[in-house]
């Protein structure tokens, strides 16, 4: 299946600015969609679509910070670059704490904006790849037997085969057999690789 091309979602109540950003991005081969209000964007936004958001901080009758916080509350949210004509340090700090990756004052330099957008798209791409990888690892772990999960859990705790055998009341040879099946099922190259894979992806082996 062909991956969807990323889209820059421009949320600003200034029609002229929306047009200028679209023209700027189109010239660089970057797809863009525009929205004149926060609600219009939030109602239409599909988290499965890759991309980033360019968000005006002071939309007509609306607060961009509220949009940031609503996006952040969702399981999957895109990188957001905040634009404002009235920047201040407290406001920029609040925007960053609410999940923005950058805070740019209007009027912005076109080259700087495009550069930051490209960085945001790269961030989104990396995060999507990481989520996809985690999903694969979690699904592999879900298919482990109860005893395999026990052995994996103890490996994550730093236990050696002899210690695992004593704790589970089985032979060292049996533990080694479980380890071999774990590596095969999880597609890990070694026990350290398996442990790293489980820790990095925050796989829960016991409730």
CA distance 172 to 170: 7
The model's confidence at residue 126, banded by pLDDT at 50, 70 and 90, is very high
Mean pLDDT of the chain: 91
CB 148 within 8 A of CB 156: no
Q: What is the pLDDT of residues 46-101, one digit of tens each?
A: 999 999 999 998 887 778 888 888 888 888 889 999 988 766 667 777 788 878 89
pLDDT of residue 78: 93
**Which CATH number is 7-130's, of 2.70.70.10, 3.40.50.2300, 3.90.1170.50, 1.20.1260.10?**
3.40.50.2300
The model's confidence at residue 2, banded by pLDDT at 50, 70 and 90, is low
> Does pLDDT of 160 surpass 70?
yes
CB 43 within 8 A of CB 1: no
Rounded to 5 degrees, what angle do the CA atoms 45, 137, 119 make?
Answer: 45
**Which CATH number is 143-200's, of 1.10.1660.10, 1.10.10.10, 1.10.3720.10, 3.40.190.10?**
1.10.10.10
Tokens of 57: 């901080």
**What letter does residue 170 receive in the DSSP assignment?**
S
CA distance 64 to 85: 13
pLDDT of residue 138: 94
The model's confidence at residue 111, banded by pLDDT at 50, 70 and 90, is very high
Task: Report domain extents, the chain.
Answer: 7-130, 143-200
pLDDT of residue 1: 46
Tokens 């421009």, located at residue: 10
């Amino acid at each position: 299946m062909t991956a969807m091309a990323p889209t820059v979602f421009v949320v600003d109540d200034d029609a002229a600015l929306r047009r200028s950003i679209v023209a700027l991005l189109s010239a660089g081969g970057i797809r863009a969609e525009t929205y004149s209000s926060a609600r219009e964007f939030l109602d239409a936004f599909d988290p499965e679509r890759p991309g980033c958001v360019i968000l005006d901080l002071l939309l007509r009758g609306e607060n961009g910070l509220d949009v940031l916080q609503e996006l952040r509350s969702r399981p999957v949210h895109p990188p957001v670059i905040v634009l404002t004509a009235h920047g201040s340090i407290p406001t920029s700090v609040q925007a960053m704490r609410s999940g923005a990756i950058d805070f740019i004052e209007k009027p912005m330099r076109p080259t700087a904006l495009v550069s930051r957008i490209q960085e945001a798209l790269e961030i989104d791409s990396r995060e999507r790849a990481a989520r996809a990888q985690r999903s694969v690892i979690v699904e592999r772990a879900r298919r482990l037997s109860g005893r395999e999960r026990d052995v994996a859990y103890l490996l994550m705790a730093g236990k050696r085969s002899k210690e695992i055998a004593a704790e589970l009341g089985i032979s060292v040879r049996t533990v080694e057999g479980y380890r071999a099946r774990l590596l095969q099922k999880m597609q890990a190259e070694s026990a350290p690789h398996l442990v790293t894979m489980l820790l990095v992806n925050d796989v829960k082996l016991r409730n």
